Structure 1
Amino acid sequence: MADNIQDLCGTLIGDRYRIIRVLGEGGMGAVYLADDNDLWRQVAIKVLRESLQDTPALARRLEMECTLLAQLGSHPNIVTLLDRQTIDGKTILVMEYVPGEDLAEIIERTFQRTPYQKGGGQSEKALMLTPRNAILIAMQCLKALDYAHSKGVLHRDIKPSNLMVRKDHSGNIIAKLMDFGIAKTLKQSSVDTAFTRLTKTEDRAPGTPAYMAPEQIEPDRFGAIGAATDIYAFGVMFFEMLTGQLPFTGGFTELMHAHTNVRPPSPREVNPVIKPELAHVVIRAMQKSPANRFKTAGEMLAALQTAVGMSATDAMHSSTSAKLAFQTPENRKALRLPSRRVFLLLALAIILAVGYWQNVPGMFFQNEVVTTSGSSHEITLEQARSVCLSLRSAADQTSVHEYARSEWAMAERVMERAEEAQDPSEAIRLFTEAGRLFGSTPGVAYERERKARERAEALENFRRDQTEVQRKEENQRFASATKTVDLGDGVTMEFVWIPPGSFLMGTRGISRASRVGTRGTVPPDETPARTVKLTQGFWMAQYEITQEQWVKMMGANPSRFADNPKRPVEQISWSDCQLFIERLNQTVKDGVFRLPTEAEWEYACRAGASTTFNCGNDLAHLPDYAWYAANSGATTQPVGTKKPNSWGLHDMHGNVAEWVQDWYDPTAYGSGAVTNPFGPDSGVFKVRRGGAWSNHHSRLRSAAREKDLPEQRSDMFGARVILVPN
């Protein structure tokens, strides 16, 4: 066999298969379309390049794929092995030919508007990743995985390019899983090591970096490869199907770190119209610990069916539609904008409306047609009224009525004149003017609101500067107020009194809108900074909950780094913390123990400071106060070994990320000044603060917010409690 891929075209293999053309090729070989002369059908033939035929590892991969496909047998959503041929001692796989295209191409076209060539192998109407299509493809892939796992076979390289998608003669979507080249049996995977093979190289872990599960990277930390490994990769792929983006991006090292240490974003952060129930399915599939994911692909399929309200059978019918929507890159950006910034969209709407009013000749309408003055083009009165009302509806916001009252009233008067006009041409002119006025009001309101906010911030800064000396004196006085709680058997818990007061919570200086989608800047859920008043003082634990304190209350130590009882406890969920606190309140009758709220935590962390960290803005000082990626030695450290903040609290930055009481609300800071905020009544995620031993310094900022499911555990998650006096 020649190394030139095209040289095999026209070749007859085994006196049966006549190669027609190349279907696809890569660095290791190619897949050809061929005629089966015995059964009069078309097949796909997979071969290695001639130069790689003598590479033992690659030859074994092809043999392994042959063996596992034969073990799987026939399934409607897995490409079937039809035959195995040997030429000159080299293995060739003959497989079912699946016309169509891989899912990667469909994702690219759907979200990036990739052009396609009609008549070049694609249908006149190229397949797009509509909501129904995405759900159907996902369900079929899960059915294929559930079947493969039931046969004891793991795929280990789930990704869009390994899923072929086509429409059958009835127009139904058919998805088929392929390329089991690095697959293994469950038994083989149980003794496999992490860094054995990559999809196209032999010196890295098996799989494709963007879709690799944590246990493929660090098996000593996350456990053995299993069915949950394929579920994680599917979760990443499903995230991409719903949003057009990967949860993690970057080079190989960055991806490896992200998969093992960084919480994946919710797909709703990219596509806000995705149902929370559907987002929860995706998030659970991408949990770091295999134990926290779905136990089987069948379990995930059932959860997906429940989330979207339809079964795989329902999805086959075009009349059924999943209740979610997708956005192209353009309108995804629009969706990220807060509602008060809608003037940007309105400006676009005005441009489109003007263009529409000037370019509609040649359209046929049933109602009266008139000509606008100054233009030779014709529009109807109803069209002019409809666009005007649409612009009015979009501009009808609280901020407009508060900051652009006179402009809104003027637009209302012009629209009233349009409604009363007897001459259709005059009515159209007035509706046009009213639409322009309505469309301009959000921009006017935004500028006035921005200036008002800047004045308020300037006043707040002035007041804060005036009281800085008094605050420092108060800090020094309250820093000496401490309390020790006896847990029994020589185990104690030390507390520091936190006085009532006010502070600026969040990040100042840059508006929320300017941060959206800007890499390397502060997340928008920290802005705008708001004034928070806490009217009641409380006792806060001087240190994070230690392992000896946890064992005293709970009887067991869940921590990964368990060689020193003075280390902070980790591998605990928010729900675990509630049980710990319940037992603490049963044991100690000295007030009420609970987790701090987000506001209480940040107030105590800052200890009167308004800087990035409670030790200032200079990163050179941070190592004196915090354990993080730069100095932790890839482990937690005993509590209290770094300097405290000015109120005597240790490890508020780093060591372990601390659970707080609140449900996560990404828009909470837009509500303005608040008193004793306690977060929303319900939600999907709980909040963590402070960053951990493995985090970059940016995650340790006093204002930085993290979130995770209440049941999620990690060797980076810990907590500290507060004691509220009776």
Structure 2
Amino acid sequence: MSSAADPTATFFQNLQSCGLLTAAQLRELWGWVAHQKPDLPTMAKEISRRGWLTAFQIKEVARGRAAALLVAGRYRLLDVLGEGGMGRVYKAHDTKMGRDVALKVIRKEKLVNPAAAGRFAQEILALGQLTKHPNVVEVLDADQVGDSHYCVMEYIDGSDLTRTVRDRGPLPIPEACEIIRQAALGLQHASESGLVHRDIKPSNIIVPRAGGPVKLVDLGLARLMGAPADEDSHRITQEGFVIGTPDFLAPEQARDPMSVDVRADIYALGGTLFYALTGRAPYEGGNPTEKLLKHCTEPPPPLRPLRPDAPPQLEHLIHWFMAKRPEDRPQAPLHMALALQPFCPPPAPGTGAFAAPGGAGYGPAPVRHPRASGTYPLPHAAPARGLPRARPSPGYPPAYPHPPGYGPPALPLPPPEPSPSNQVFKLPPQATDRDPIRRRSEARFPVGPVLVALGALFVVAVIGIAVYRLLLQSQPAVPEPFTNTSGMKLVRLEGGTFRMGSPDTEPGHRPDEAPVHEVTVRGPFFVSATEITNGQYFKLMGSNPSKGAKIAARPEHLPVDNVTWDEANEFCRKLTEKERGSPWARKNWEYRLPTEAEWEYACRAGTATPVAFGERMVFGNQAVFKPDGTDPLEIADETLRPLPVPQETGKTEPNKFGLYDMHGNVAEWCSDWYKSEAYRDAAKDNPTGPADGDRRVVRGGSFRDAASLTRSAARTGVRPTDRHDTIGFRIVYAPVVK
């Protein structure tokens, strides 16, 4: 068959010519193709299962674009990380240095516009002038190949602050302050190199998954502050357009985006702190223009109605950072970092986690504070070079009680921002002493109405706290039944009340199943319709400990076995991370092992009989167990022999909930500790098992167990570090267990 008529052959030819696979891999793949004769989707899945190519690479090869996967003969593209107005950012592998990097390529169609090419070149020049700093993403390379411009940056395996807050909700105060403090240190370093970021926002702050310093990314809108600026040569934006994100834009940046300094970034970082603490942008609006007007005319948003646990000083800090006039804010990012430092978690002894990196403008050696282990830096008497000296905050008391647990403040806090008018009007082109915005922002409350104002603030605070409590009580939206990106079908269960355990009259009853007790399982939650397969486990974890997979002819659809309890939990953790951002993903939900109560509720599927199918079950059709002709629960042909390995998942009859292989096949890990007497004083509402133990619960029995050991109530305990070729697992997707 010609390759033109055979997509599989064409795909293989593309693989041969692109150089992504070794000669040995190509020979092995061709042998598999000759034997299996797969279609193109099956072949693609097999390559992905073996971990030879990423899904993105496979798609590009299938589209005949394999040559574009290698940039400059050195950078091999692995995946798409993000996309913006100027270009696309890829995860790539540097074949010369043997490391993963982030590679940004400007859109080719943008090159027809000389201003766009100039803007990209300006970005490279600005980034190239930065020396290495732990809180700024490092630029490693930049070049042009043909008509494609690109720059190479260090790859950060993490999540941006927007996604972090969206997934977890408002962050704890110490964590949010520490993230912003580190971002401010990165901003300080950039400003000392003459850079203004211009687009500070949560999505441009990366929090690494495995710990490590927070990274400030995407200085793509930066402009060299000292560069000559004649009328046209360096003006990258068109007249009337604003550089930046309306949700976090400083008032002066809305007026004249090309003349702002680092204090505009401080304003945006203050708004980002408000977002991290509340999950909301500082100002809401139906369109960007409305948001810009609010940034210019309305006072900084109150924090404490949304976060009653926040100390008043932290709210004052945010108002200081977001002051309408640049001269009323901190005059350098370092001042901002030092002001936030008392609200951050204490560092581990000897780590110096709070010490500002050395260099010009960062002050003398850090000093130790007696209330916390670790170090705290002190600012220089002089501000960082090129920046105005910090303006003291008039009228604010020099000493005030600091909130317990946060340590003393490093700098005096500013007074609350005066409340200007919130009238909406068209912005004038310049701000002068006659500017109504400036006149309103400089106005002070008259003494007379103070009591009235305090009373109004009290009412607003009470309403805000009530709304906040209602928000806390509200449950996250529940997704619909779905099949996730790993091909696992998740079945929705509504939860309910059932009788857990077995009476002593039930065939196969054991003492650890008594007493029978009523249990309520809260829902909704989702259960995987089948046990996790070898193919699904290998695709996510990159390895497979299964013994059955080594002897089965087609192991990918067999349930994974020989997995420890810890490995099953690690699978759930990785799957949760992988699925973040999926349409069905919900805040404060996770993949995890089922509790023992959730497992039995799902297995029984509304029945009270020994098995979900009644008093007995049919071997092979309803369950896979070890038939011996004597067990009172089995229905089996005497000529049938036990299976040497488990059966493929989903081949038996499902229970009334649509779940397969709850009885037999492989036994399944649960999250609870196992104790034989656990039912004697078990909780009735959503129980999670004993507080401790040395074994974990295993449920359902296996293909090597008699039918009686696969009953709905049958339970046993296994050490979490043990491996058995009869034990696997299934997963649930549910709210995080607290």
Please give the range of the TM-score, normalised by the shorter of the 2 chains: 0.3 to 0.5
More helix by share: 1
Normalised TM-score (structure 2):
0.39
